[in-house]
Amino acid sequence: MKNTNSSFTSNLNPQPHSGPQVTPAPQGSKGGPKPVAPPGIRTTARDYANPVDYQHPYPSMAQFADLLALRYDANRTRHSYYRQLRLIHQHCQCDPATLTEAQLRDYFLFVKLKKHWKPKSIRQALASAKVFFVELLGKPDWTLFAQIRAQDHDTLPAVLTRPQVQALLGHIRLRRYRTPLKLIYCCGLRLSECLGLTIHDIRGKENKLLVRHGKGDKDRVVPLPTSMYEELRRYWAFHRHPLLLFPNIGRGGHDPKVLAQRMRQATCPMPHNSLQRLLILARKQLNIPAASVHSLRHSFATHLLEAGAHLHTIQKLLGHAQINSTMVYLHLTHQTSQDALRLVDELCQGLPA
């Protein structure tokens, strides 16, 4: 194969003229060298601002933003907690610091019974309210927080069969969309993890992919199939962005030269909704009842389990903190269903007609 660029062929150590510089990692550090992004290029799939920089309607909300900055490292977490307090403020139309316990109880009844929030959203709103009212305002005697329960429902995620995955990916005609979707399935990535990849995260000679700043701001290493590595090389050789693997395509003409230039000059990764919208459209055209981009990650885990992979191995590949999160795939494997059917058939044998 033609040597596309030193950043892909020399184990992602680009020459000074071919891409961003890499700062050597300290001895014994994990994850290898940390790339230094060129000025103006964002490497995260989504940009979350620090709530400290927001325009705050009340001093109490500014104090809450300061507390979140001290407590949490990830802007995404700070943003989510501050957003929950802002929703309380918008619903009650007043300074949240002036709310009574009864008013806050009415708000949680509203989002649970009227808005039909999912348990995860209710738990996040509850966590945000506890930080604000208990820790910031000093109201530990409020009993509301001990009364709210929001347990997850026992629902199984949508999983595709291997023929369905092949048909779905084959239905995505444009390579610039099909390649990241294939990578999500082949490596079990989250959508944000895939779109935030840089050329420094590919270790083709070692058949490894570095996933930086995953859920919980954790790094992990996953196997990278050789065929997928070669496809990533061809994909990158088209646009040759100095850092991003999946740069934003932008708006404009579809002439290959013009498109490649736009991608080469992109300052952020491809937006999430580009892939989400395409996959849902393809799923409907193929009459697949339920599937999303995240279903490819669920399918990756389920198909590995069916092939005999150990549950703890899948846990590490997916980046799950708890094995319970991985055990859900035991309910989704075809082999498990077949074993159960065989045992049930044996139980039924010999019973009176």
Question: Which sequence positions are flagged as catalytic?
Answer: 190, 215, 294, 297, 320, 329
Provide the 3-class DSSP secondary structure of residue 265.
coil
Going by C-alpha positions, the residue among 158, 187, 157, 155 that lies closest to residue 291 is 158
Asked whether 242 and 38 are in contact (CB, 8 A), the reply is yes
Q: What are phi and psi of 222, to 5 degrees?
A: -125, 155
Going by C-alpha positions, the residue among 80, 96, 87 that lies closest to residue 133 is 96
Going by the DSSP 8-state scheme, the letter that residue 133 receives in this structure is: I
Asked whether 96 and 85 are in contact (CB, 8 A), the reply is yes
Task: Return the H-helix or E-strand segment holding 139.
Answer: none
Could you tell me which residues come within 8 angstroms of residue 219 by beta carbon, excluding any fewer than 6 positions away? 30, 31, 210, 211, 212, 213
Task: Give the tokens for residue 200.
Answer: 């420094």
Going by C-alpha positions, the residue among 192, 212, 202 that lies closest to residue 235 is 202
- Dist. CA 241–CA 90, nearest whole Å: 42
Could you tell me which residues come within 8 angstroms of residue 79 by beta carbon, excluding any fewer than 6 positions away? 48, 49, 51
Provide the 3-class DSSP secondary structure of residue 126.
helix
Quote the radius of gyration of the chain (alpha carbons, Å): 24
